[in-house]
Amino acid sequence: MLRRVVFFFLALASLAVLIGGQQRSKRTKRSSQTHERRARRKPAKPPVASFVTDSGGRELIVRLLDIGQGDATYIRNGSSRVIIDGGPDTAAFGRYLDSLNLNNTTIDVVILSHQHLDHYSGLRELFKTARHIHVRYFFENKDPAPAVTLGELRDSVLSRMDRDSLIYRDTDDPCSNGRPICTIAMTGGAKFHILAPLPNGDGPNNRSTAVKLIGPDSASFTMWLAGDAEHEEINWFETTGYARNPGMRVNVLKADHHGSCNGVTSRYLALTGPQWVVTSLAARNDYGHMHTQAKEIYRGARVPWYRTDQNGTITIRTPGTVGGGFAITPERAGPDLDGPSDRVSRQPGCATGVR
CB of 117 to Zn ion, least distance (A): 8
Q: Work out whether 217 is an interface residue with Zn ion (CB under 5 A).
A: no
List strands edge to edge, sheet with 80-86: 167-170, 134-140, 106-111, 80-86, 72-77, 60-64, 314-318, 327-330
CB of 228 to Zn ion, least distance (A): 4
CB of 29 to Zn ion, least distance (A): 51
CB of 196 to Zn ion, least distance (A): 19
Q: Work out whether 309 is an interface residue with Zn ion (CB under 5 A).
A: no
Return the range that interacts with Zn ion (CB under 5 A); candidates 98-106, 116-124, 184-192, 196-204: 116-124
Nearer to Zn ion, 191 or 257 (CB): 257
Return the range that interacts with Zn ion (CB under 5 A); candidates 39-47, 117-125, 134-142, 170-178: 117-125
Q: Work out whether 89 is an interface residue with Zn ion (CB under 5 A).
A: no
Q: Which of residues 225-244 bind Zn ion (CB under 5 A)?
A: 228
Return the range that interacts with Zn ion (CB under 5 A); candidates 92-100, 111-119, 275-283, 297-305: 111-119
Kindly determine how many residues on this chain lie close enough to bind Zn ion according to the rule CB under 5 A: 2
Nearer to Zn ion, 60 or 277 (CB): 277
CB of 348 to Zn ion, least distance (A): 19
Among 118, 233, 256, 309, binds Zn ion (CB under 5 A): 118
Q: Work out whether 256 is an interface residue with Zn ion (CB under 5 A).
A: no
Residues near Zn ion (CB under 5 A): 118, 228
